[in-house]
């Protein structure tokens, strides 16, 4: 198959990416990974694989029988490999768009737009990283584990789920050298009250320089509190309804607290990754 990505000029504030790509990819596989999630693997052109952890794509979902998803669906990157030409998305079937995604079969053509948004950063003095997330939020943070390994950082990944078997990306995080701690609702180990002493013990041992999170308001509030108490920075990938994904429609505007001011930002363009201390839930 011949790929012909199209460069789309996109107006952007100073310092943000000025272009993205629309590309026709080929489906390699689209398989269940557990009782709730599926993994979509695409053969993608090099132009769309110049990605950062935390960025996302707008996916043109097929129409399932009897349904007509109108807009593209934003989906965070689960994995990307420019050398192999691979692009991966982990998703849960919840609506018309993802029901359409579930109909894709190997060798089907699939249209994607991206990479979009601003990804995670990793400051030089962040040598001990702690990732705390739940459910599909762990998918957003999965490329961060690879980035941490490439930069020689130590990573602790706290993976939260309703049940142990639903904890996402455990094997992947371990393959990148992370210490993985699985917590879940069945034994109440996933509550903020249970996580607080676990995290503070690692802070006391000098094992946390920065936090990363995605997808859970209660985990965000816990990390904001611990970050303020112990002077630990961090980043969050925000989840938000989007329409265009390019910053033009303003559908994803949220409030953020910067110092003593409340400001408005577009999650799709100024984010989706923001400093933890600035996020409001």
Is 61 known as a binding-site position? Answer: no
Is 252 known as a binding-site position? Answer: yes
H and E: helices and strands count for the chain: 5, 16
Is 51 known as a binding-site position? Answer: no
The structure tokens listed for 202 are 């690692």
**CA distance to 93, 254, 257, per residue, from 265 (Å):** 29, 6, 10
> What angle in degrees, to the nearest 10, is found between the helix axes of 192-204 and 217-230?
30
Is 269 known as a binding-site position? Answer: no
DSSP H or E segment with residue 173:
helix 170-175
Is 74 known as a binding-site position? Answer: yes
Is 122 known as a binding-site position? Answer: no
Is 97 known as a binding-site position? Answer: yes
Is 29 known as a binding-site position? Answer: no
Contact 3, 23 (CB under 8 A): yes
Contact 157, 145 (CB under 8 A): yes
Contact 184, 164 (CB under 8 A): yes
Q: Which residues are annotated as a binding site for [2Fe-2S] cluster?
A: 244, 249, 252, 268
Q: Which residues are annotated as a binding site?
A: 73-76, 97-98, 244, 249, 252, 268
Q: Which residues are annotated as a binding site for FAD?
A: 73-76, 97-98
């Amino acid at each position: 198959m011949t790929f012909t990505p199209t460069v789309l000029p996109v107006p952007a504030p100073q310092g943000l990416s000025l272009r993205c790509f629309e590309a026709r990819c080929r489906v390699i596989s689209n398989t269940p990974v557990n009782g709730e999630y599926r993994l979509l693997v695409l053969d993608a052109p090099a132009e769309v694989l110049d990605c950062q952890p935390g960025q996302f794509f707008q996916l043109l979902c097929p129409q399932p029988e009897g349904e007509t998803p109108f807009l593209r669906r934003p989906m965070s990157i689960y994995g990307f490999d420019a050398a192999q030409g691979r692009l991966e998305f982990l998703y849960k079937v919840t609506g018309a768009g993802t029901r359409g995604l579930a109909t894709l079969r190997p060798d089907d053509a699939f249209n994607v737009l991206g990479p979009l948004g601003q990804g995670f950063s990793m400051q030089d003095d962040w040598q001990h990283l702690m990732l705390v997330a739940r459910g599909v939020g762990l998918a957003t943070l999965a490329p961060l584990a690879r980035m941490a390994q490439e930069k020689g950082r130590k990573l602790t990944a706290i993976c939260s789920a309703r049940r142990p078997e639903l904890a996402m990306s455990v094997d992947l995080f371990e393959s990148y050298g992370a210490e993985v701690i699985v917590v879940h609702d069945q034994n109440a180990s996933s509550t903020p009250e249970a996580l607080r002493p676990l995290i503070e013990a690692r802070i006391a041992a000098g094992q946390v320089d920065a936090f990363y999170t995605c997808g859970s308001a209660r985990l965000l509030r816990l990390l904001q509190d611990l970050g303020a108490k112990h002077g630990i920075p961090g980043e969050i990938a925000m989840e938000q309804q989007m329409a265009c994904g390019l910053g033009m429609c303003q559908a994803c505007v949220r409030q953020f607290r910067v110092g003593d001011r409340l400001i408005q930002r577009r999650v799709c363009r100024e984010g989706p990754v923001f400093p933890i201390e600035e996020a409001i839930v």
